[in-house]
Amino acid sequence: MGPASEYFDNGSSFFAVDPQSINPATLADLSLFERHPSKDGLFRFRSLLTDTDAVTVDRLREMLGGWDTVYIHNAEAQDYKAYIKDNIKFILNNDAMSTSKKTSILVNLSTDVIKETFAAPFVPQAKISETVDNLEKFVSQAIDFLSDIESLNGIATMIGHDYDTHTHSVKVGWLCAVFIKANQDLFGNPDRERLKQLLLHATVAGCLHDLGKVKVPENVLNKPGRLNNLEYVLMQSHPALALALLFEKKLPCDTLQSILYHHENEDGSGYPCGLAGDAIPLPAKICHIADVFDALTSARPYKRGKNPVEALKIMAGKNPYLDTLKIFESEAIENARPPVMAIVRNERDPKLRRLRERQMIEEEAEKRVEARVKLRDQGMSHCFDNELLKRFIATLSKSDSFDLSGLL
């Protein structure tokens, strides 16, 4: 049984929606309410449409245009979410809605879709295929909006927020879509159908690039501080773990390559395969740039997020300490503990002496972990294709929301 036609409620049983998010051609059985001023702490909620079949689509469109806000009962929250998912293409193409409202709906819905996909690895393989299919369907409906240069205004409003794996994945896929649409010549100026495939594959890859993190120990994934060497190596396993989870889904090759190789560096110092230069597929290089840009501009418990200019300066900067950084990186991969030359002479008890020496080694290791993080921020140009990074900066600068004139 659906909601009643009238309620007197303090408001907690209803949530507000933008009437422009309602497709008059597919309203179906959703009940829309108007809210009257409160009296004695209670609002009067009255049903606006008691019989949608009795109202023509044109008349319903006119009515929706005349309402500022409508309300839906919590009992139909899941129905509304499913309705929005099925009508996301209509919403994103609706010129009557602002980009900010479209962005809010898109991010909330896409985050839910990705959360569902990230939960799938804990259920049978068939469920993974089903949830990835849902993600592909969702992305295909949203791709025109996601790849439009004007949608960068929506991404700009999310810069600097706290890091969240699901929202991060949305933004990486989104940035990949915008970049490829604006730089089609890199792919030989493909026809419309081929371009749509490229955009779909790259966006899905961006949304799934961190899927393997669901298999990384939770205490490592959610650690509030910097990772030690062992934790760092465990985290580096996530691209391969993602590929293993998706292997039976038989995704397109360029999607799988982007997921597996999105941490490969231009100079061969990346992971998991140590590929360099032209050996790294182009979509993976693009995913890498988008991934690092969003990671640098997101806030973490142990660091503030960089602004876009700061982040891109780091990405484009030549690292003066690259040799030292590579030594520290190799130490982490080998999970090596750096030697401590000092000998504890003032402790007579051999057990306490060994304990203190071990403590000194751990302290030195922590210092080198902190130094590794700081050294990376001195410059990352060795990680990226220089021409692609220039194009990425130029693409962002086409949006009024990104002032990158000092970098061009």
Q: CA 333, 337, 341 angle in degrees (round to 5)?
A: 145
- A 10 A CB-CB count for 45 gives 23
pLDDT at 341: 61
Q: Strand pairing partners for 39?
A: 42
Architecture of domain 87-318+379-407: Orthogonal Bundle (1.10)
Structure tokens at 349: 């008890």
What's the CA gap between 238 and 261, in Å, rounded? Answer: 11
What's the CA gap between 369 and 353, in Å, rounded? Answer: 25
- A 10 A CB-CB count for 348 gives 7
Do 31 and 2 meet the contact criterion of CB atoms below 8 Å apart? yes
Q: Give residue-wise pLDDT tens across range 120-179.
A: 877 777 788 888 999 999 999 999 999 999 999 889 888 888 788 899 999 999 999 999
Query: Distance from first CA to last CA of the chain, Å, rounded?
Result: 60
Do 141 and 252 meet the contact criterion of CB atoms below 8 Å apart? no
In 52-133, at which residue ranges do the beta strands (DSSP E only) sit? 70-73
What's the CA gap between 220 and 231, in Å, rounded? Answer: 6
Do 6 and 47 meet the contact criterion of CB atoms below 8 Å apart? yes
- For CA atoms 284, 286, 289, 293, the dihedral sign is negative
pLDDT at 334: 84
What's the CA gap between 213 and 233, in Å, rounded? Answer: 12
Low-confidence ranges of the chain (pLDDT < 70): 1-2, 28, 50-53, 340-348, 353, 408
Q: Strand pairing partners for 8?
A: 44
pLDDT at 343: 60
Residue in the structure block whose two tokens are 């749509």: 196
Q: What is the pTM of this model?
A: 0.87
- A 10 A CB-CB count for 143 gives 21
R_g (Cα) of the chain, nearest Å: 26
Locate the domains of the chain by residue range. 1-78, 87-318+379-407, 323-374
- For CA atoms 295, 298, 299, 300, the dihedral sign is negative
Q: Mind giving me the DSSP string for 174-194?
A: HHHHHHHHHTGGGGT---HHH
Residue of 262, 224, 270 lying closest to 383 (CA atoms): 270
What's the CA gap between 4 and 2, in Å, rounded? Answer: 7
pLDDT at 1: 53
Do 174 and 151 meet the contact criterion of CB atoms below 8 Å apart? yes
Q: Give residue-wise pLDDT tens across range 17-36.
A: 988 888 888 876 788 899 99
CB burial readout 184-194, b (16+ within 10 A) else e: eebeeeeeeee
- A 10 A CB-CB count for 408 gives 8
Residue of 85, 97, 74 lying closest to 21 (CA atoms): 97
Structure tokens at 178: 């915008």
